[in-house]
Amino acid sequence: MSFTGFALLFEIAPMCENRSIMYQHVPLDFRRMPPDEQLQASREFLDRMAARRSVRMISPEPFPFELIENAIRCASLAPSGANQQPWKFVVVQDREMKRQIRQAAEAEERESYEHRMPADWLEALAPLGTDWHKEFIEQAPYLIVVFRIDYGFTGEAKTKHYYVQESVGIATGFLLAALHLSGLATLTHTPSPMGFLSSILGRPKNERPFVLIPVGYPAAGATVPAIEKKSIVEVMEIK
């Protein structure tokens, strides 16, 4: 580091309210695109994303681990409250662990579908045809279990994390987009309750399961429900 850099960080950097040192501010790395290139990029991304679906029939066919790692690198670039990056992405490739996760998820889901979910919830789900069977958990070459980190530590003391739900939600969106653009199918699965994931995966107390994402190629002949998305006029309002 140059002397100036050193001086900025350790000597003359202004202090934040909590007395920690402020970041040095550096020029933004930004390339101004010509408008037609902007439109082309925007339309291409929209087209690719329009083909993304939640897939429940996943092939065990392997694929390079780098696709998983790059997608997690991408997810971890998401903005987060106070840049606390309150997430952990646990990748499960171990067969036995996947078996245990499926067994526990199916036990909870069976209980939910048969006893816990109220009639109006079951009614809302009925058109999708989901039930407690979760074969995709064992079929998928990899599961990514996203954990939210509710608080951190400064030594022994707990540090509050801000906007955890929002931050992890955004990171999960980045993750799903990256996997889709890498030619892989995903499902955002939330077996309920999800506490078993913490014990099977040996996570610490400050982490809580957020979503379980099986990743793989779609199984041969995979089908998806013919759902429709809301139109732009339904989702956008201009004032």
Binding site for ligand IYR (CB under 6 A): 109, 125, 130, 189-192
- The first and second tokens of residue 63, run together, are 């694929």
Q: Is the Cβ–Cβ distance between 141 and 61 less than 8 Å?
A: yes
φ/ψ bin of 227: left (φ > 0), alpha (ψ from -120 to 50), beta (otherwise): beta
The residue to which tokens 């007395």 are assigned = 19
* Residue closer to ligand IYR (CB basis): 28 or 227: 227
Q: Which CB, 43 or 133, lies closer to ligand IYR? A: 133
Cβ 69 to ligand IYR, closest distance in Å?
26
Q: Cβ 131 to ligand IYR, closest distance in Å? A: 7
Token couple for 217: 């190629």
CB of 205 to ligand IYR, least distance (A): 24
Q: How far is the CB of 198 from ligand IYR (least distance, A)?
A: 17
| Residue corresponding to tokens 């925007």 | 42
| Alpha-carbon span 187 to 54, nearest angstrom | 5
Q: Which amino acid is at 172?
A: T
Amino acid at 15: M
Return the number of the residue (39 or 128) whose C-beta is nearest ligand IYR.
Answer: 128
Nearer to ligand IYR, 103 or 130 (CB): 130
Instruction: CB nearer to ligand IYR: give 109 or 207.
Output: 109
- 193 preceded by cis ω (within 30°)? yes
When CB distances to ligand IYR are compared, the closest residue is 130
> Minimal distance in Å, beta carbon 130 to ligand IYR?
4
